[in-house]
Amino acid sequence: MMMWLRGGRPTERELIAHCRGLGIEPPADCRDIDHVPPKDVAAWWVYQTMIAAAPQPPAAQEPVAFQQEVDRWLIACFGETIARDKVERNHRFLEEALELVQSGGCTKSEAHQLVDYVFGRPVGDMSQEVGGVMNTLAALCLSYGLDMDQCGAAEMARVWAKVEQIREKQRNKPKHSPLPQHPAPADDRVREQIRREVLEEVLEALRAKRDHAAKQIEVFKEKLAGRSSPRRRQTASDCIRNARYRHRYYDKAMAVVRALANGGK
């Protein structure tokens, strides 16, 4: 102790003996003592001893693997039965995959072509196909400048916050159907498109009938000119009159359909 008061540097043995005299178990490694000023040696030694004896903070937990976190969410949200339902998991994965490529510009026609192509080939090995999904998803994210890990973490946080809404959607989904919900009725734009297409088909059919009546008028006019018998001339005249009536009828019908196609009721 007197060596410290005189400013001298104690030896390692002296320090160990002093600490034990104070009831303090010194650390086994004393090399850092060489970098401490002589007047602070005692304080340093006590401080290091206290740090060593203090409760250590818990070690940082290993991050939970994404698949394990998804499993926790599935069980918490749906329960074991739905979480492990292979058919349901197939349908939901396909739905999300289609929504992903749709957001990237893939068309309905392209999707149908790929469905026909894939289902025209032999069934693949599931583990290999999972690897293919992982690889192509990473490649897709790279092409769009997305971080797939960040996207997954953000979605995981989102669905944890919407457990009740997702449960309600699951309860209301149609039975024995791959669809996640009942199809919504066609909106006004779709209905209007269907209406116009139907009216266009009707218009084309009326136009064909009107044109046919016009040709019949010309045919019967020629027959009338070549008939000398009053009876045959009367028959030709009657046919012309009938054809003209049908021509006017189809012409008026076409006008009505055009008005409907242009927004009329």
What does pLDDT average to over the chain?
Answer: 79
8 A C-beta contact, residue 214 and residue 247: yes
- Average pLDDT, stretch 203-228? 85
CA distance 72 to 141: 25
Helix (H) or strand (E) holding 130: helix 126-144
pLDDT in tens, 96-127: 999 999 999 989 889 999 999 999 999 999 99
Domain residue spans of the chain: 2-53, 69-172, 188-261
- The verdict on pTM exceeding 0.85 is no
Asked if pLDDT for residue 3 goes beyond 60, the answer is no
Cα atoms in the Cβ-side hemisphere of radius 13 Å centred on 189: 0
Residue % of the chain over a pLDDT of 90: 31
SS3 37: coil
What is the structure's pLDDT at 2? 42
What pLDDT sits at residue 147?
A: 95
Place of tokens 């068309």: 107
3-class state of residue 201 by DSSP: helix
pLDDT at 259: 83
More confident position, 20 or 5: 20
Q: DSSP character for 35?
A: G
DSSP 31: G
Neighbours of 22 (CB within 10 A): 12
> Which tokens hold the place of 256?
């009505």
Q: Is the pLDDT of residue 75 over 70?
A: yes
